[in-house]
């Protein structure tokens, strides 16, 4: 049986494997950095909202300024 074709220079194959592996790891790192930046941004926005609620002592605006309109 014949296996996969072998390169004449095994070191070239190893070099290509390392080059691909590095490119893949760089790609994964970039995606991870983007994901973490989105999480940090969302956390910062949430923290600002919570701080705003704490400053106003959690009071809610329960005023209802709309007038009741009856259907005729």
CA-closest candidate to residue 36, choices 26, 28, 47, 24: 28
Planar angle of CA 47, 48, 49, nearest 5 degrees: 90
pTM of the model: 0.54
C-alpha distances out from residue 42 to 34, 58, 71, Å: 13, 21, 44
Residues 2-14 pLDDT 10s: 665 655 667 788 8
pLDDT tens readout for residues 55-69? 887 566 667 777 777
- Token pair, residue 8, equals 């004449």
Report d(CA 45, CA 47) in Å as an integer: 5
């Amino acid at each position: 049986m014949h296996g996969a074709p072998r390169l004449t220079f095994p070191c070239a194959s190893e070099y290509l494997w390392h080059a691909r592996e590095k490119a893949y790891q760089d790609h994964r790192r970039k995606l991870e950095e983007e994901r973490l930046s989105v999480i940090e941004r969302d956390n910062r926005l949430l923290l600002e909202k919570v701080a705003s609620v704490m400053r106003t002592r959690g009071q809610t605006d329960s005023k209802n300024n709309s007038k009741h309109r009856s259907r005729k």
